[in-house]
Amino acid sequence: MDRIELRGLRARGRHGALPAERELGQEFVVDVTLGLDTRPAAAEDDLSRTVDYGSLADRLVAVVEGEPVALIETLADRLAGVCLQDRAVAEVEVTVHKPHAPVPHPFTDVAVRIRRSRP
């Protein structure tokens, strides 16, 4: 299976379990790795036979900027669902980074990584 990766996609959202997170919002960083067969697109040099990652980025940002959820696990699952809407995608790995999570100690990152595939 081939891979297309989109890393470091940034968007502001209001996700979190704490009221301040919902009120103030914060930046989230999203990485997706799509599993698909890129041979048909490569053979014909045809964007319509693969994933348009610019369009995908727009849809992912809309989810991050959209309806708030309490958990980044939920956000990651929603983002995976968006990726799997593309019929070319057989599986996806999504990582949601929350670099400004309300953790009362020095840290570099908080992230949730999930994998989803077609049934």
* Annotated catalytic residue, options 37, 64, 98, 117: 98
Q: How far apart are CA 3 and CA 89, in angstroms?
A: 10
98 noted as active-site residue:
yes
Task: Give the pair of three-digit tokens for residue 2.
Answer: 């081939």
Catalytic positions:
98
